[in-house]
Structure 1
Amino acid sequence: MMKGLKKWRLFGLLAALTIFLSGCGEEYLSTLTPGGTVAKEQYKLLLLTSVIMLLVIIVVVIIYVLVIVKFRRKKVGENTIPKQVEGSHILEIIWTAIPIVLLLIIAVPTVSLTYELADTKAMEAKDENGNATAVTVNVTAKLYWWEFEYPEQGIITAQELVVPTGEKVYFNLKAADVKHSFWIPAIGGKLDTNVDNINTFYLTFDKESDSLKDGVFYGKCAELCGPSHALMDFKVKTLSKDNFDTWVKNMQATKGKKADKNSTDLGEQVFANSCISCHAVSGEGTAAIYPNLATFGDRNRVAGFIEHSEEGIKDWIKNSQKLKPGNLMPVEKDLNKGKEFTDEELDALAAYLMGLSVEK
């Protein structure tokens, strides 16, 4: 009876595991559904190595089972010793040569693809007017958020990377504090961001993200970096080339935009008296200590993981350290000169932030 129960437990475990793994193929998040040329090449390499490993496992299991069946004690008796093959030159050559061949089959495309993906010379290419021909993004990883600067366009944003489809997009990766790792699972493998040096690589984005479940690809930090590492997400919005150019122009058009302390909008007043010392609302600019909020109303999440709504904003302002331990967001009283915001101020501030948009 107990043996039967154990078998059913195993079956239940396998069934639950199957259901769990069925969620690993989401197009916006999974390496198993590649959304760009780089990801597709890496996926092919993953399939190649997996097939070879599976082949090795199958051969070993077959030999193992055959030996058990052929030389089981009931069949050959207690004192029978199978023929010994120790020292056989033929067998030694076979089980030395086969692993070498398999390793070469894996190594050649792996090394070739590694060098191909590391070639970023086109990042420096200029047209006849001296303008860069490729889109380059300076990515800076910080505790616990991401900054995206477009040096050629003179714009900057945070938490949501916006890129064109159908071309190589080049990245300069660095960290502002500790080691992080930049990873967009559906678009390409991860690459570390370091404090002392800049890593460069490129990715390609084959489709526009508006058809995806949340309208974005998901990006993550893939290097343990502190207590809120698991919450260090970012989103990637992919646009056609024309729509990307329009987005850039809209960002550049925010030049000089500032929150006014004397505004008739209470939310803008509150922002100008509390948040403006840390956050900019103009998309044109350079690297900053804290996230740029010019596109806050266009984002997919608050702080990378909270529902993008006025309620989510208010919850973040009041409980930022509880929700994302170790981040540099000041507590509510430090923001508001030692006092908590009133409900009216919070409502107005949340509405103002949701209105910061270059797409609407």
Structure 2
Amino acid sequence: MKDWMGKIRTLSLFSLMVLLLSACGRDNLTALVPKGYGAEESLRIIIITITVMIVVFIVVMAIFVFVLLKYRQKKGQENMVPKQTEGNKTLEIVWTVIPILLLIVIAIPTVATTYDLADESAKEDSLNINVTGEQFWWHFEYPGEEIQTSQDLYIPVGQKVYLNMMSTDVIHSFWVPSISGKMDVNPDNENTMYIEAYEEGVYWGQCAEFCGDSHSLMDFRIVVVSQEEYDQWVTDMQNVDPDAVPESTTAQEGKALFEQSCISCHAVGNTPSVGPNLSNFGDRTMIAGVLEHSEEELVEWILNPASKKPGNGMLDAPYLQDKSVSQEDAEKIADYLLQLKASEITPDSAK
């Protein structure tokens, strides 16, 4: 009896922990409050599936209780053998057909939705964005607008946006639960999905495929803005001048250090880069996708990225190997990066 009570207490504690932890994490990182077409369709399938499972559970438990009460062993019947039903074709047909019908109920809307979300008929007339998964960050290229950026994906509200996704290393998975479902991001082939957001705002995304030490820190955001704001953001990003001279002397020195120690991996402006594009770094509200956007965090990230994101590609940076960047140098580089503002349309300004 004591063993059973202990197990019940352990189970109760575990259930309470699950409930508490389910409330942790990023805002709107949930599939249960859809803000986009894909998420809405996914929730519809979830509801259908759960409804079928609940009905099955109720029926099975009702039959179980009925049989338990009606056919329980009574006094004087210890040696009685109940009537056997093996070979009963009617029963066998019933318990074979019912699961098939239930699977059909789930399969039809699931298959229809899968094909619907894979529809690329409007791709040529829609906004296309190339998405690249890296360890452990995301790169976004707008080929039609000649824009390169990272971590924050800007899209206009109420429009289909096609994402053409590939990975440069391992398999990742692109997932913004409030807007759409998941899509694998592979190193060998390009996968395409479209997203369509109903409301302006900032929506958190996450890599949903275990991809290394810092898989859980591979966050990104989709910033949904009005068409007017999106057009303004595009214009601002296209006009980023990588040669612009910062106002403060410290930032000017930081720019020189950046071009000496960081430019081999990063880029400012609309050019490809090995590491994250930093054109609008000062407009962002997170560092490396998960850190507070402050000078202190940025300096620590520059000097010791392993402490923030173990296993990330920045650990192989030459300046970390030869320790050519000091604390003072890192502070100057941070001052320069925080002044890289491309637009007034930022995540903070999104509704």
Same fold (TM over 0.5): yes
Using the alignment, how far apart are the partners of 1:6 and 1:59 within structure 2? 28
Q: Give the superposition deviation at 1:190.
A: 0.8
From 166, 181, 187, give the equivalent of 1:174.
Answer: 166
Secondary structure of 1:191 counterpart? strand
Moved more, 104-113 or 62-71: 62-71
Q: Give the superposition deviation at 1:111.
A: 1.0
Partner of 2:138: 146
Using the alignment, how far apart are the partners of 1:17 and 1:334 within structure 2? 43
From 174, 191, 199, give the equivalent of 1:199.
Answer: 191
1:230 matched to 2:216: yes
Q: Give the superposition deviation at 1:317.
A: 0.9
The structure-2 alpha-carbon separation of the partners of 1:320 and 1:21, relative to structure 1 and needing over 3 Å to count, comes to closer
Partner of 1:49: 49
The structure-2 alpha-carbon separation of the partners of 1:277 and 1:190, relative to structure 1 and needing over 3 Å to count, comes to same
Moved more, 308-317 or 325-334: 325-334
Partner of 2:95: 95
- Within a 5 Å distance, the mapping from 1:14-29 to structure 2 comes to 14-23=15-24, 28-29=28-29
Counterpart amino acid of residue 286 in structure 2:
R
Using the alignment, how far apart are the partners of 2:230 and 2:237 within structure 1? 11
From 271, 284, 300, give the equivalent of 2:258.
Answer: 271
Q: Give the superposition deviation at 1:272.
A: 2.4
The structure-2 alpha-carbon separation of the partners of 1:336 and 1:23, relative to structure 1 and needing over 3 Å to count, comes to closer
1:218 matched to 2:204: yes
| Residues 268 and 277, structure 2, Cα contact 8 Å, conserved in 1 | yes
Moved more, 316-325 or 158-167: 316-325
- Within a 5 Å distance, the mapping from 1:6-155 to structure 2 comes to 7=8, 10-23=11-24, 28-74=28-74, 77-125=77-125, 134-155=126-147
Secondary structure of 2:302 counterpart? helix
| Residues 146 and 158, structure 1, Cα contact 8 Å, conserved in 2 | yes
The structure-2 alpha-carbon separation of the partners of 1:75 and 1:304, relative to structure 1 and needing over 3 Å to count, comes to farther
Using the alignment, how far apart are the partners of 2:317 and 2:242 within structure 1? 25
The structure-2 alpha-carbon separation of the partners of 1:51 and 1:75, relative to structure 1 and needing over 3 Å to count, comes to farther
Secondary structure of 1:188 counterpart? coil
Q: Give the superposition deviation at 1:337.
A: 5.9
The structure-2 alpha-carbon separation of the partners of 1:98 and 1:280, relative to structure 1 and needing over 3 Å to count, comes to same
Partner of 1:310: 295
Using the alignment, how far apart are the partners of 2:307 and 2:244 within structure 1? 28
The normalised TM-score by structure 1 is: 0.87
Partner of 1:161: 153
Using the alignment, how far apart are the partners of 2:321 and 2:190 within structure 1? 37
Flag structure 1 segments of 5+ consecutive residues without an equivalent.
126-133, 210-215
Q: Give the superposition deviation at 1:332.
A: 7.7
The normalised TM-score by structure 2 is: 0.89
The structure-2 alpha-carbon separation of the partners of 1:242 and 1:64, relative to structure 1 and needing over 3 Å to count, comes to same
Number of aligned residue pairs: 341
Q: Give the superposition deviation at 1:18.
A: 3.2
Using the alignment, how far apart are the partners of 1:9 and 1:226 within structure 2? 32
The structure-2 alpha-carbon separation of the partners of 1:76 and 1:293, relative to structure 1 and needing over 3 Å to count, comes to farther
Q: Once the two structures are aligned, what percentage of the paired residues are identical?
A: 43
Using the alignment, how far apart are the partners of 1:12 and 1:330 within structure 2? 40
Using the alignment, how far apart are the partners of 2:166 and 2:8 within structure 1? 51
Using the alignment, how far apart are the partners of 1:36 and 1:93 within structure 2? 42
Coordinate RMSD, CA, aligned: 2.5
